[in-house]
Amino acid sequence: MSSLAVTASRPPFISLSLDNWRFALVAGIIALIVSVTLFPADVSFWIVGVFAVLLAMSSVINAYRRQYYGGLLVAPAIAVLFVMNIFPLLWSLGLSFFAYQSSQQTIRFVGLANYIKVLTNDLAATANWNALINTAMFVVLTVAAQMIIGFLLAMIFAKQFPLRRYLLILVLTPMMLSVVASGVFFTYYFDPTFGILSYVIGNITGEQFILMDNKAGAVAGIVFADAWMWSPFVMLLVLAGLVSVPKYLYEAAAIDRVSAWRRFWTITFPYIRGLLMLALLFRTIEAFKLADMVILLTKGGNDTMTISYHLIRIANEQNKTSEGAAISYLMLFMVIVLTNLYLYLANRRQQGA
């Protein structure tokens, strides 16, 4: 209780004390309004900046004097989070209600017009929906491929066999490569003139084989490349679960002559379920953002445009900033809903088990 005794009392609102953060906040807001209305942007930016620093300083001193050490310790993290994450998020949310293009100097409030356009306009909305459907398809296919391959790889590497360590490093390599490097590698792999795939299949069937000239082939190519890169990640997680299963459970099961299937289902699976769920969550979120492989392999041709790539084109290439912001907010909304649904289901399962 001694700490309470030395805690300084709160300064009155109008005092010019260094820890009077309330006053600094109000003064900052007034300065913000005044400087934004009176001065050009590059001047008001610095004025507001100075007041932001003052507010931060007074809050820190206030916390120190009142001994809010917990708050003080997380403050740097929160400050970084605010500057790098929350502020840009709010800023782009604001932009999505304006007609704004980053390559032009004008800005105009349009309310929900951007959202209405990306959802209903007969040209823009069809492209968006189409890209969204493709994205859903890629999420299902790539995540399924990665989970199955990664899981099977983990089952193999959970056993001891000669050269296991070296093979493990080899299998993990794709995950460490840059996406661009593996993308370029796969363009040559799939290339009908220079590629080995067309060469081998062409030699077997006698017909010319072109993988990427139709949607099914192009999707297969992208899914294959993506699975090649990211299955090792799933494998790594599952492997961690597999080695954590206590040996004595298997020994007991062996004594009871439990079938292999049952052994897996009742001993192995409960240990790796959490990690599988984690891998599923990570890979689903990543797959939802799939753009790099598509850009490298098809440029969105053969109807493989994903919503992320579509967004890059709209926001970064065509400079339709606010339209891009509206699409990304709709995407964010979808990801949040899906993630929460997933977490809800995962939790319910856990409680049920």
Partner 1 sequence: MKTMKGFAKAASLAAVLMVGGGTYAFAKEVVLTMAVPDWPPTRIMKKFFDEQYKAKTGNTVKLVVDFIPWPDFYTRVNASLTSGEKKYNFIVSDSQWIGAFVEGGYYRKINDLLDADPEFKKTFDQIHPSFLDAYATYPYKSKNYYGFPQFPDVLVTYGRKDVLCDAGEQAAFQAKFNEKLPCTGEEMDNIDWKTFEKVGQFFQRKKGEKLAGKVLEDDFYGIAYQAGKGYDFSSMQINGFIWQAGGDIWDETKVPDGKAQGVVNSPVAVKALDQYLSLIKYMPPVAKTGTMDIFKTDELFREGKVAMNVDWIGLGEASLDPTSSKVADKLVFGMAPGTRSADGKMVRWNNLGGQPFVLTTWTTEEQTREAVDFVKWWLSAPIQHQFAAGGGQSAIKSVYEDPKYVGYRPWNRAWATQLDWQKDVWHVAPFFDLLTQQQDQFDLAITGKQDAKTTLDNVAKYQENLLIEAGLIK
- Of 322, 337, 335, the C-alpha closest to 124 is 322
Rounded least distance, CB 280 to partner 1, Å: 32
- Beta strands per DSSP E along 119-252: none
> In terms of Cα–Cα distance, which of 252, 284, 311, 314 is closest to 132?
311
Kindly state the number of chain residues that form the binding site for partner 1, as judged by CB under 8 A.
27
List 95, 131, 197, 212, residue binding partner 1 (CB under 8 A): 212
Given candidates 71, 168, 192, 250, which one binds partner 1 under the rule CB under 8 A?
192
Please say which residue, 235 or 314, places its beta carbon nearer to partner 1.
314
Of residues 10, 299, 348, 349, which one binds partner 1 by CB under 8 A? 299
Q: Which of 1, 4, 6, 123 binds partner 1 (CB under 8 A)?
A: 123
Tokens of 47: 């004025």
Q: Does 130 help bind partner 1 (rule: CB under 8 A)?
A: no
Nearer to partner 1, 67 or 121 (CB): 121
Contact range with partner 1 by CB under 8 A, out of 30-38, 55-63, 84-92, 300-308: 300-308
Residue pointed to by tokens 């959970």: 158
Q: Does 113 bind partner 1 (CB under 8 A)?
A: no
Position among 17, 67, 187, 339 found at the interface with partner 1 (CB under 8 A): 187
Q: By CB under 8 A, is residue 208 in contact with partner 1?
A: yes
Q: How far is the CB of 221 from partner 1 (least distance, A)?
A: 9
DSSP-assigned beta bridge partners for residue 98: 109
Q: Can you tell me which of 69, 194, 264, 269 binds partner 1, judged by CB under 8 A?
A: 194
Strands 98-100 and 107-109: antiparallel
Nearer to partner 1 by Cβ, of 283 and 313: the residue is 313
Compare residues 221 and 232 and give the one whose CB is closer to partner 1.
221
Q: Examine residue 311 and tell whether it contacts partner 1 (CB under 8 A).
A: no
Across the chain, the runs of DSSP E, i.e. the strands, are 98-100, 107-109
- Tell the residue number behind the tokens 């809903």, with chain if given: 337
Q: Binding of partner 1 at residue 298 (CB under 8 A)?
A: yes
Distance in Å, CB of 296 to partner 1, minimum: 9
| 164 makes contact with partner 1 (CB under 8 A) | no
Per CB under 8 A, which region of 4-12, 161-169, 224-232, 292-300 contacts partner 1?
Answer: 292-300
What is the three-class DSSP state of 17? coil
Rounded to the nearest 10°, the torsion over CA 120, 125, 129, 130 is: 150
From the list 235, 226, 263, 245, the residue with the least C-alpha distance to 151 is 235
Q: How far apart are CA 250 and CA 157, in angstroms?
A: 17
CB 222 within 8 A of CB 304: yes
> Is residue 105 near partner 1 by the rule CB under 8 A?
yes
CB of 341 to partner 1, least distance (A): 33
Of the two residues 184 and 240, which places its CB atom closer to partner 1 in the complex? 184
- CA 138 to each of CA 141, 151, 279: distance values in angstroms, whole numbers, following the listed order: 5, 19, 16
Please, are residues 171 and 156 in contact by the beta-carbon 8 Å criterion? no
Q: Pick out residues in 227-286 that bind partner 1 (CB under 8 A).
A: none
Structure tokens at 155: 């089952």
The smaller minimum CB distance to partner 1, of residues 95 and 147, is found at: 95
User: Rounded to an integer, what distance in angstroms lies between the CA atom of residue 316 and that of residue 329?
Assistant: 16
Inter-residue contact 157 to 168 (CB < 8 Å): yes
Residues of this chain that interact with partner 1 (CB under 8 A) are 102-105, 123, 187, 191-194, 198, 208, 210, 212-213, 218, 298-302, 313, 316-320
